[in-house]
Chain A
Amino acid sequence: MKGFMNRQAPYFFIAPTLLLLTLFSIVPIVVALVISFTDMDLRGLANWDRVSFIGFENYVEVLKDPVFLKAILNTLFYVAIGVPLVILFSLTIALLINLGTSRIFKAFRVVYYLPSVTNIVAVAVVWSYLYNPALGLFNYLLNSVGLPDVPWLTEPTIAKLSLILLAIWKAIGLNMIIFIAALQGIPKTYYEAAQLDGANTWQQVTSITIPMLRFAIFFVSITTMIGWLQFFEEPFVMTEGGPLDGTLSVALFIYQNGFKFNNFGYAAAGSFVLFVCIIAVTLVQLRLQKNESDMT
């Protein structure tokens, strides 16, 4: 009986969650996959008789669409620069806060968490002021030390970097508290032992803290990667993909085609191209993790 329970227990534990996920995520994804092979639009949504299968046409079209290809390149740019920086900054800030002994360091947890709960409209308004070409704070500061204006949101490459800066600012809080929670789980005895061996702070961080945080770093890097490959909110509220599609991301492309123009089949095809990319990247990450240790 006991053994039976042991073997069945994990299934009982995951069953309710998997059931809900199947119903509200997996089945809808399968439906979207079916839709990606059709010419579904608003007319088709109203009357399914008007929908026809068109095979891989949406996929062929979307992969030929120069706007989509541009969106892919932009997204890779966002990921390549943004993901490492988010991990680096949130980990560093978490470590600094955790190493701090004064009371003020506790307040920093709240401070650095605030951007992730600040309303996106407020964020957009404030950052538009910061980036404003005529009156913005950033250009004002540059001018006051004798440097020329920077076209923060109006030059394609700089605009991408500006959005990355904003996204990092917003993303640090969440990852930071995950790291802080993970830091709590490192037994104090490890540090005490290291101190007895005469290790300094830096040595303790590199030889105890970082290795002990591997599982959290793994989590943050996978979720951040998945999140950034679907980079959406920042270009959506700040630039709508402009200038000249310079900040258009794949997720924004999908949104515009799906919701603005009702090309559901086309948008679904685009999102499965994205899906394949994300799952490939994630599987590589999982594999790397497995090779590195048997933590999973």
Chain B
Amino acid sequence: MRTTVAGKKGGARDREGNLTFQWISGILLTIGGIFFLLPFFWMVLSSFKPESEIVQIPPTFWPATFTTYNFSYLFENMNFGVYLKNTLIIVLFSFGGLMLNALAGFGFAKYDFKGRNGLFVLVLATMMIPSQVTMIPVYLILNSLGLTNTMTGIVLPGLVGAFAIFLFRQFMSTIPTELLEATRLDGASEYRIFLQIALPISKPILAVQAILTFIAGWNSFLWPLIIANDESLYTLSVGLSLLKGQYAANFGLQMAGATFMVAPVIVLFTYFQKHIIENFTISGLK
């Protein structure tokens, strides 16, 4: 599995040094970890507090009055089934986008073709303009394609992205070219090389990008809101944002909503990092 740095062949002194190192880094990470966990726990615990306790002075960490009111309010006031369905459809489509990104990343990484560098800078350039500036033009394009109020219109603008293409390109550029050549000599098509060599080798980064894709799809907010002319196309995030009043902050509800949204992400992340990252062996590269 993972590399144990001071291996069995090292001397006793090494092992001792390594043990000290393990302890120090463990302690450092724990201290930092508390700092990283605190807001998250605060969010989860707050979602079980009544509003008056959340804003109380001084604040409580553990709920003094435990309530599930925020969650029950959430589920009663949201068109839950519809929003969940839409959200899952978007997630599903964005995984299609993930494959397109991987394909493009592979193209940029392992082929030398005319205009490659120029095109790649062009791809990067799309990350450099704040998305607010292009929102209205994108909407007008979708509108003239007749895609307003459709799921296609919601999914398309975010399907591919420079970040993912760049990420795949960086990682796939470390795949040894000889490996691809060897497969090519065996008579494999370029698509098969991508599917059978490049993708499996890129599993760790595929896992990372899968998590990011899931999160982006799961939280998708702006395009569902702007493209939908009907609440039947709203997603969970849009539904949750409707619960925020004009004047009242409704922290309890917001925390419950946030907790609800983040739970599947954590489950998925734990799963991915356990089953894909850890089981990955680099043997194919040896």
Contact = CB atoms under 8 A, between A and B. Distances in A.
A and B: direct contact (Cβ < 8 Å)? yes
Interface of A: 5-7, 9-14, 16-18, 20-21, 23-29, 31-32, 45, 93, 96-102, 104-106, 108-115, 117-119, 121-123, 125-127, 129, 135, 169, 172, 174, 177-178, 180-182, 184-189, 191-192, 195-196, 200-201, 204, 215-216, 218-219, 222-223, 226, 229-230, 232, 251, 254-255, 258-259, 264, 267-268, 271-272, 274-275, 278-279, 282-283, 286, 295-296
A2 B113 CA distance: 16
Contacts of B165: 17
B146 interface: no
Q: Could you tell me the dominant secondary structure of chain B's interface residues? A: helix
Interface string B179-209: 0000010000111001000000000110110
Contacts of B184: 6
A114 B128 contact: no
Interface in B193-228: 194, 204-205, 207-208, 211-212, 215
Given A115-B36, A169-B36, A219-B170, A201 B130 contact: no
B207 A181 contact: yes
Given A105-B29, A111-B36, A118-B40, A9 B111 contact: yes
Nearest to B240: A119
Given A5-B190, A119-B43, A254 B258 contact: no
Interface string B96-114: 0000110110111001010
A204 B40 contact: no
A21 B25 CA distance: 43
Contacts of A278: 128
Contacts of B7: 191-192, 195
A113 B274 CA distance: 14
A117 B264 CA distance: 11
Given A104-B26, A184-B2, A223-B166, 6 more contacts: A28-B134, A127-B39, A184-B280, A201-B17, A229-B128, A274-B129
B170 A10 contact: no
Greatest chain B CB density within 10 A among A21, A223, A274 is at A21
B124 interface: yes
A231 to B, nearest CB: 11
B190 A118 contact: no
Contact of B134 (A10, A11, A32, A195): A32
B187 to A, nearest CB: 9
A21 B134 contact: no
Contact of B129 (A9, A182, A271): A271
9 contacts: A13-B190, A17-B160, A17-B165, A26-B126, A129-B59, A181-B207, A196-B9, A271-B133, A274-B129
Contacts of B78: none
A18 B255 contact: no
A260 to B, nearest CB: 11
B141 A126 contact: no
A201 B205 CA distance: 25
Given A31-B137, A271-B129, A177 B211 contact: yes
Contacts of A16: 100, 103-104, 160
A100 B173 contact: no
B133 A100 contact: no
Contact of A279 (B10, B128, B132): B128
Interface of B: 2-7, 9-10, 14, 17-18, 21-22, 25-26, 28-29, 32-33, 35-40, 42-43, 46, 57-59, 100-101, 103-104, 106-108, 111, 113, 116, 119, 121-130, 132-134, 136-138, 140-141, 156-157, 159-160, 162-163, 165-167, 170-171, 173-174, 184, 189-191, 194, 204-205, 207-208, 211-212, 215, 251, 254-255, 257-258, 261-262, 265-266, 269-270, 273-274, 277-278, 280, 282, 285-286
B130 A255 contact: yes
Given A114-B40, A195-B7, A200-B17, A185 B33 contact: no
A10 B119 CA distance: 12
Contacts of B257: 119
Given A13-B103, A185-B204, A201 B18 contact: yes
Select the residue from A118, A223, A258 with max chain B CB neighbours within 10 A. Answer: A118
B3 A191 contact: yes
Most chain B beta-carbon neighbours within 10 Å: one of A108, A181, A187, A223: A181
A123 B40 CA distance: 8
A249 to B, nearest CB: 10
Given A11-B113, A110-B270, A117 B262 contact: yes
A55 B274 CA distance: 57
B208 A177 contact: yes
A122 B7 CA distance: 43
A267 B205 CA distance: 36
Given A17-B104, A122-B43, A93 B129 contact: no
Contacts of A18: 104, 119, 123
A144 to B, nearest CB: 14
B265 A117 contact: yes
A254 B132 contact: yes
Given A117-B262, A215-B170, A9 B134 contact: no
